Amino acid sequence: IPLCSPQAFPLPSLPRKQPTVLVVCGPAQNGAIGLVCARHLRVFDYEPTIFYPKRSPDPLYRDFTTQWTLCPPCAPLSPQVQLINDAYNAVVDAVLGAEAEAGEGREPCAAILATLKLIRIPIVSLDVPSGWDVEAGSSGGISPDVLVSLSAPKQCARRFLGRQHFVAGRFLPYDVQKKFELNPPEYPGTECVVAL
């Protein structure tokens, strides 16, 4: 899954000399996508730090952790918001996604969401911003600057008020598009992500 940070936050535009990005991963599918995202960020010359406090027992998700040789090891999420603001250019929110229901009320997700709500640096949410209902939208969740919808925008994306919305769904099979009556955007050239 490509991340549009190279489009939303090109390396020359970053406020810090080091191209640091904090990738916060949850234990389910969205966390696995965050791990893949961190690998892609490293390929694009960003310096991702992964925070993955509750690891999934799923063998597929565990396999993604073997790819960490391209990324720094897991880092602790500092409870001091100012340290995050000072150390990173942006945060990738891969904590909860479309599969989340009441997970945001349990630890470690509740503490992570409380921290993310207080930071001042940009947040890039993958698929569904953490703390949002997939249908209704924000109900006390975070307020990301960038949303990357995976496959297609979810219903909650109608309530997204951030500065950029991208969709990453170029390789969605035609049968899936037809079944769910999706009308994907045109992807120019070889782009895997397109701005909406």
CATH number of residue 38's parent domain? 3.40.50.10260
Highest-pLDDT range among 1-10, 147-156, 165-174: 147-156
| Residue 156 placed within a domain | yes
Report residue 57's pLDDT band, with 50, 70 and 90 as the boundaries: low
| Residue 36 placed within a domain | yes
The domain in which residue 21 lies consists of 11-195
Contacts of 146-151 with C-beta under 8 Å, sequence gap 24+, read 146/4, 146/5, 146/8, 146/122, 148/3, 148/4, 148/124, 148/193, 149/196, 150/1, 150/33, 150/126, 151/176, 151/182
The mean predicted confidence, pLDDT, of the chain is 79
| Residue 123 placed within a domain | yes
| Residue 65 placed within a domain | yes
Q: How many domains are there within the chain?
A: 1
Q: Which helix (H) or strand (E) holds 66?
A: none
Query: What confidence tens digit (pLDDT) does each residue in 153-191 have?
Result: 888 888 899 999 998 877 777 888 888 878 778 878 877
| Residue 5 placed within a domain | no
| Residue 3 placed within a domain | no
DSSP H helices in 92-160? 109-116
